[in-house]
Chain A
Amino acid sequence: MSRRSEGTTVIKSNIISDHHTPNKGERTDYLAKKLLTRNKRQYVQNLTGKTIAMICAGLLVAVVVSITYFIASKGLTTFFFDGVQIKEFLTGLKWDPEGEPAAFGVLPFITGSFLVTMLAALIAAPLGIGAAIFMTEIYPRFGKKVLKPVIELLVGIPSVVYGYVGLTLLVPFIRGHFDVLGFSLLAGGLVLALMILPTITSVATDAIEAVPQDLRNASLALGATRWQTIWNVVLHSALPGCLTAIVLGMARAFGEALAVQMVIGNTTKLPGGLLDPISTLTSGITLNMGNTIQGTPYNNALWSMALLLLLMSFVFNLILRILSRKKLVNK
């Protein structure tokens, strides 16, 4: 209310000065006064805005730091108190934390996580970038109006639903066609590919849209076909953005637990092929966390696996940083 009334006074004073052809000095005086005096209300607004922003930022930093500290302190207990060798942990093939003697080899989990992520990226990257090209270069109106919302709808589906659909349709399908169990690396990769498709598509779309129109025009003016323009000019200059999209998708795939757990079989063994069951770090944690006691070596080993996941997400972030820096240089 008060703002509006003040606004009117300003306008009024302007109108008045316009009408009564003016005493110019008076008007500049008024404006100068208005501009130079410290507006108390604005000051308070700025201060509250700043405080809220600072509190939020501080809170976020505190959360990130404390999560990292918590997971690291729990995860490192395995090595410092339970006497497990880091090398044995990372390269061991046997996982039997309650056995005599206990074995803490998580290599099968690590391998599973990497393989399923790579497979998902291999499937989803061409599809996602293809869809992005379609949406921006080939049929933008249909793409923006229909395809994009449809693909983004995939984000809203809970991951347990993906897992259940995978378990109900995909696993029996693979079993029926290949004479295997069905619970496999392939099933996990396919489910994950579908889940990361929206991420890859939307980030790649933004990257391709950001390519300046001049480049396309220049290419077409030189006599290049549309396909040549897309392949050699547009995709080439959007490459860092597309790589960012893929890495983002992979980061998501690496951390996904529920959907994957339901279709990969969770066999703690190195897979022999695409159709063998596997385990991932996330499925190992979710399957066992509820039944282990805090403070026991078993529980600590699960925290070490969580720490590994956290480190991997740092690595993914680092790659993203490097990629985005590359983008700047290219420009």
Chain B
Amino acid sequence: MKKLSKMFIALSFVGALLAGCGSGNNAAPAAPAQSEKPAAQPADANQGSSEKPAEVSSEPVTAVGSTALQPLVEQAAKDFMAKNAGAQIQVQGGGSGTGLSQVASGAATIGNSDIFAEEKKGIPANELVDHKVAVVGMAAVVNPKITVDNLTKQQLIDIFTGKITNWKDVGGEDQKITLVNRPKSSGTRATFHTFALDGNEEAEGITEDSSGTVRKIIAETPGAIGYLALSYLNDTVKPLKLDGVEANGENIATNKYPVWAYEHMYTKGEATGTAKAFLEYIMSEETQKTTITQLGFLPITEMKVERTADGKVNQK
């Protein structure tokens, strides 16, 4: 009996090993097949004029990257596949950096990102085509027990750089401030760093990557302050006004509230086939008005200003 069970364990181990190898082998040829596609795209784009409607094929489209954008793309992909039988869209997270590098190397059809490709070192931004699909605002968020509900930009900077360490210095109760930060590579941190802190270096604090965990920590830790995309807000945490301006769609659309970022979906070369149809679907009036608004994002169509990769804001 003992021998038999040992044999069984050994066999199942070998089986698992082989299965692992098998999947590895399967994955390998898939990647080059996809990477050939973008090379063919520019030629197509030049020949056929862009008037031709995008055709949906059964060729799988992969959209990889930003976890902030992921829920939106997932929902849109679900709706899109329900409407177009045979279309296959796979959505994965992994972070903005992963999205950008995967689409640049051709491993993914669409790369989702919270930041401009130009902002990330090591990405050939001129090879990528930017599709801005939505806008998301970010707000400084505090534990609901904190009585402060407005901070000036200077106060916010002083808090995050560690100059102010007690809530009583900004009109709250006598309580220590706990910073909840994102990792240095995070896209959300980059946006907050640039537009809320004016590029000032943050002090060390608790660091967590997933927005859900950050929200949980802020909700449970007395005196905690952090930042979240508006799509992640709920009753357990309290967003702060910045210079008296509330973080809402109206104020973001006019750039009165400056802490926001585009949600980008990059393709390598012009999008074709299913990917093009999918991007058109996301940009359609219908998706922008319903799905995007419901999930806490701001439709790109409602923006009254435009922002370039180097942060310059122009009226539309």
Give A residues with C-beta under 8 Å from B: 56, 59-60, 95-99, 167, 171-172, 175, 181-183, 261-262, 265-269, 277, 279, 286-288, 290-296, 298-299
Contact = CB atoms under 8 A, between A and B. Distances in A.
B186 A175 contact: no
5 contacts: A291-B186, A293-B101, A293-B120, A293-B122, A296-B121
Contacts of A296: 121-122
A298 B185 contact: yes
B200 to A, nearest CB: 13
A293 B125 CA distance: 13
B97 A292 contact: yes
B245 interface: no
Given A167-B213, A267-B207, A291 B17 contact: no
B212 to A, nearest CB: 10
B221 interface: yes
B206 interface: yes
Contacts, number: 84
Q: Which 6 A-B pairs have the closest CB atoms?
A: A290-B95, A291-B185, A266-B207, A291-B97, A293-B122, A291-B95
A171 B219 CA distance: 13
B98 interface: yes
B213 A262 contact: yes
A261 B204 CA distance: 16
Contacts of A277: 206
B98 A98 contact: no
A183 B17 contact: no
B27 to A, nearest CB: 15
Contacts of B120: 293
Interface of B: 14, 17, 21, 93-98, 100-101, 105, 120-123, 178, 183-187, 201, 204-209, 213, 216-217, 220-222
A210 B93 CA distance: 49
A295 B122 contact: yes
Given A267-B206, A291-B95, A181 B185 contact: no
Given A277-B206, A288-B183, A290-B98, A181 B123 contact: no
Contact of A294 (B101, B178, B201): B101
Given A288-B185, A291-B96, 9 more contacts: A59-B17, A98-B185, A167-B213, A287-B183, A287-B209, A290-B97, A291-B186, A293-B122, A296-B121
B122 A266 contact: no
Contacts of A181: 178, 206, 221
B260 to A, nearest CB: 19
B17 to A, nearest CB: 7
A272 to B, nearest CB: 12
Contacts of A286: 209
Nearest to A290: B95
Nearest to A53: B14
A110 to B, nearest CB: 17
Contacts of B93: 290
A173 to B, nearest CB: 12
